[in-house]
Every structure is written in structure tokens, then in C-alpha cells.
Amino acid sequence: MAETAPTGASGKAAESGGHDGGGGAADKPARSVRTVMFALMIAMLLAMLDNMIIGTAMPTIVGELGGLEHLSWVVTSYTLATAASTPIWGKLGDLYGRKGVFLTAIVVFLIGSATSGMAQDMGQLIGFRAVQGLGAGGLMVGVMAIIGDLVPPRERGRYQGMIAGIMAVAMIGGPLVGGTITDHLGWRWSFYINLPLGAVALAMVTAVLQLPRTPRRKARIDYAGAALLTVGITAIVLVTTWGGTEYAWTSTVIMELIAVGTVSLVAFLFVEARAAEPIMPLHIFRNRNFTLMSVIGFFAGFVMFGAVLFLPLFQQSVQGASATNSGLLLLPMLMAMLVVSMVAGRITTSTGRYRVFPIAGGALMSAGLLLLSTMDTETSRWTAGVFMAVLGAGMGFLMQITMLVAQNSVEMKDMGVASSTATLFRTLGSSFGVAVMGALFTGRVQSEMAARGGEQATAGSAQLDAASLAKLPDAVREAYEYAVASGTHLAFLVGGCLAVVTVVAALFVTEVPLRGAGPEPVDIGGGKPAETVAHRG
């Protein structure tokens, strides 16, 4: 049964006897909380900005280190390590206290950044990027879980604009910063730039962050669950990364990876059902809202990262934009996402109501994708900007509300695993989105070029850079522009249809009162009356 106890957010004595270095969040002056949030946003920026910066530096890196055939692993190793470690970081935070675990993640990320900058060959760079990815997994889930500890859900909406702003800065500023650093300081500074920022975050978190002390539970680490989940996630990410590019979807390698992933995840479920301290407690999925938010987060990640990948390609290949300008042309989508996220957060804080936002977000996201699927070689940049704004508004309603509701659906003792699980589903969604939309796009471009006699222009790849495109004969270039428009049409059309799933899922969300200071209502099982439980650190 539920119990009533003082809450960590209210600043009263924690149920386990005292605080780690001071009072709760509500005791702190608002300025102190803002200082902590600033440090957390720096940490989140580090994790999100890294891949965006490295993308523009990769041609220079390959030119110096060689190893072109292993180029994709520079990104893949980082992604794999991030995805596989995210649930483990979340559980460690629940077991041993979030502050120490979060500081450890920052240190691991900085070590990975420093060693990546010192890499002497492509093999070393891939290995050090994996270390960096391990730290990045802890940064993302750590930020979300600490915000969950510091700020009651009813008040958390006001910080959504900050999180959305960080995402916009990373997506727009990453390529610009990466290009500038590479041109003027060298590619190694694409990694070294993380060190001063990380040092600031490390110092600020150490000095200012105070959380309720988490009693160390005498429990065996779920090594079997961690190993099986890591193998399963690794297999899934490799399938989505290699399928249709490195290997054919029907190849033996892909089939074996699918089999390994499936067996590992099924075994993981059996292990978790019996573990004393499971890495991912299955009971959190008994809560309808949490499960629905995981589904919505998966498809939101699917759509968002697919759009960010293919919109610049359309703008460069069809609308004639430069690489730099194509990033800036994403501003309508990102600004709409930022503004809508801030407005939704304010309304959530003032009213405590949120159910309408995932419904509206799913509808706008579907509409935006379907509008984008109508673009062709005659579509103006202004029209494309309007369509992107619709998509951005939909994502603005969804991106942070999903995390807020997921965290509100579990007890505080499960805040870390809830945050990491929600983050993991979004990460897996992005991997599937890039893979599925990429396969559809590539297949359509190659078939259209073959039908128009220009298949030699895209031999081995459906993506041509601006320099290669300019060298094509006019007739072939026009055929390629048409093929790219046709490929993006198919990718966005399928994405729009899949995004309807978010609307359907959102319709089943139960509006449970958001927790505030004092005893906290938690939705124990979809639709049942909220019960009051202890706020545990």
C-alpha cells in the first residue's frame, strides 16, 4: 500500500535521514536552483552537441588519419555506447545517489573527449569515441533524473523551454561550430572544446547541487540483465545502422543480428522478472501512462531525427542551398519547437493539465510530415519553412511532455530508471527512423535514377554532395533532383503515417495530477485513482 512521508522536493527531512549537503530544492533560493539548472544544461549540451560538431569535421579527420572504410564506426561506436549504457546509468543513480553517478559520467565523457582528440589512427578514435559515448549516456539520463529530483512536475514545465533551447542550439550551432573549429583550430579541437565546458559543469555541479541522500541498498547488481540488455541494444542499433548500407537487409549478418537481438531481449525479460534489483524494473510498464509515453517517445524520436537528416539533403540537392545554409533553413522547425515547448510548459505549470499536449503534438507532427511529403522540385523555401514550422510545433508539444508524464508515473525510487527508459526508447526510435526512412529514400532515388538512365550518377550511394552534383550534366542533375524529391516524399509520407500512432496512444493517456511539494499522487495503474506515496531520494 501507499504511504505518506515528507518529500525531498519540499525540503523537509528525507525519509532516510537527512540530506546530502543541505536542504531540498524548495529550501534553496531560486537563484541557486537556476545555477544548478545552468550546469545541467551545459552537461546536456555536451552530450547533444558532440555528434553535430563531429559530422562537419569527419572529412578532415579521414584526410589525416585515413581509415575511410571505418568512418561510420566513429559515429556508430558513440551511438552504441550511449544507447547501451543509458539504462545502467539510470539504475546506478537510483541505487547509489544521482550526484556522484552524474559527476562520474561527466568525468568519463571528458576522458573520452581528451583521448579522442589525441587519437593517432582511426582505430584509436573509434575506441575513444566509445568511451565518450559511455559518458554521454550518463549525461542525458542524469540531467533528466536530477531535474526530476529538484523540481516537482507541476513546476517542471517552466524549464522545458531551456531544454528545447539546448536542442535547437545543438542542431543549428553544431555544424556551424564544427566547421569553424575545424577550419581555424584543427579537427582535434572539435573534441578538446568539450574540456572547458565540461570542467565548468563539473565544478558547478560539485559546488551547488544538493539532493536528498539516497541510502545505499544492499542489493546484488543485476549483471546478467545489464549484459543481456547491452547485447540486445547493440544488435538492434547495428541492424538499423548496417541494414541497407553495409549489408543487404536479407544478408546473413543482418539476420544473425536480428536473431541475437531478439533472443537477448527475450532472455532479458525473464531475468528482469526475477532480479532483486533489475536494471529496468518491469513493473514500471504496468503503469499505462508510462508505457504510452514510451511509445510516443519512440515515434517522436523516429520522426525527429529522420526529418533532421533528410530536410537538409532536400534543401541542398533540390533547392540549391549550401551545407551551412541548409542548417540555418531548419530554423522554422526549431524555433517553432522552442516556442511551443515554452508555451506548453507555462500552461502545464499554471494549470497542472497536460493531456491535450501529446494529442495536439501527435496531430501536428503527422500533419507536418504529410505536408512535407508534398514537396517537389518547384516547392519554394518559404513553403517548406511553413511545413517545417508545423512539424516543429508538433515536436515542441511532445519532446518534454513525454518525459514529464513518464517521471510523474513512477515513484521517486524509480526516477532514474524511468528517465533512462524514456531516453532509451527515444534513442532507439531515432535509430529506427534513420534506418527506415533512409532505406526508403535510397531505394526510391536509385529506382528513379535507373528509370531515367542516370543510375551511374548514384552508383553506390543515393546521396551526392554539392560538388558532385554540380559536375553532372544538366539532364542527369534534373533527374537527380526529381529523384531526391521523390525519395523525400516517400520517406516523409511513411513517417507521417507512422506518426499517427502517437495520436492514438495520446488519446489513451490518463490525466493524473502532477506532483508538487508534499505528499505526491502517483498513477499506480492506468486510470485508477491516484494514491499518495513517499517522495524518495
How far is residue 162's CA from residue 144's CA, in Å, rounded to a whole number?
A: 12
Residue 370 phi/psi, 5° resolution? -65, -35
- How crowded is residue 231: how many other Cβ atoms within 10 Å of its Cβ? 18
Q: Is the model's pLDDT at 523 over the cut of 50?
A: no
Question: Considering all CA atoms of the chain, what is the largest pairwise distance in Å, rounded to the nearest integer?
Answer: 75
Q: Is the model's pLDDT at 212 over the cut of 70?
A: no
Question: What is the DSSP secondary-structure string of 28-72?
Answer: S-HHHHHHHHHHHHHHHHHHHHHHHHHHHHHHHHHHHH--GGGHH
- The pTM assigned to this predicted structure is 0.75
How far is residue 130's CA from residue 79's CA, in Å, rounded to a whole number?
A: 8
DSSP letter at 522? E
DSSP letter at 515? P
What pLDDT sits at residue 426?
Answer: 86
How far is residue 441's CA from residue 481's CA, in Å, rounded to a whole number?
A: 13
Instruction: Average the pLDDT over each of 53-62, 288-297, 380-389 and give the range with the smallest value.
Output: 53-62
What pLDDT sits at residue 325?
Answer: 67
* Residue showing cell 541548409: 326
Do the beta carbons of residue 36 and residue 159 sit within 8 Å?
Answer: no
How far is residue 74's CA from residue 417's CA, in Å, rounded to a whole number?
A: 28
Higher per-residue pLDDT: 422 or 6? 422
Fold of 1-219: Growth Hormone; Chain: A; (1.20.1250)
Q: Is the model's pLDDT at 102 over the cut of 80?
A: yes
CA nearest to 305, candidates 164, 432, 430, 422 = 430
Across 61-75, 164-178, 225-239, the highest mean pLDDT is recorded for 225-239
Instruction: Average the pLDDT over each of 70-74, 100-104, 141-145, 221-225 and give the range with the smallest value.
Output: 70-74
Q: Is the model's pLDDT at 82 over the cut of 90?
A: no
How far is residue 294's CA from residue 300's CA, in Å, rounded to a whole number?
A: 10
- CA distances 431 to 20, 240, 253, 370, 493, Å, are 38, 6, 18, 21, 18
What pLDDT sits at residue 7?
Answer: 37
Map residue 12 onto helix, strand or coil. Answer: coil
In the CATH scheme, what is the homologous superfamily, with its name and number, of domain 283-510? MFS general substrate transporter like domains (1.20.1250.20)
Higher per-residue pLDDT: 83 or 6? 83
* Residue showing cell 532536400: 314
Q: Is the model's pLDDT at 226 over the cut of 60?
A: yes
How far is residue 294's CA from residue 422's CA, in Å, rounded to a whole number?
A: 6
Percent with pLDDT over 90 in the chain? 15
What pLDDT sits at residue 18?
Answer: 34
Q: What is the pLDDT of residues 247-297, one digit of tens each?
A: 888 889 999 999 999 999 999 999 988 887 888 888 889 899 999 999 998
* Residue showing cell 546473413: 252
What pLDDT sits at residue 79?
Answer: 79
Question: Average pLDDT over the chain, rounded to whole?
Answer: 77
What pLDDT sits at residue 4?
Answer: 34
Mean pLDDT throughout 228-244? 84
Q: What confidence tier does 505 reach under pLDDT thresholds 50, 70, 90?
A: very high
- Chain-centroid distance, C-alpha 534: 30
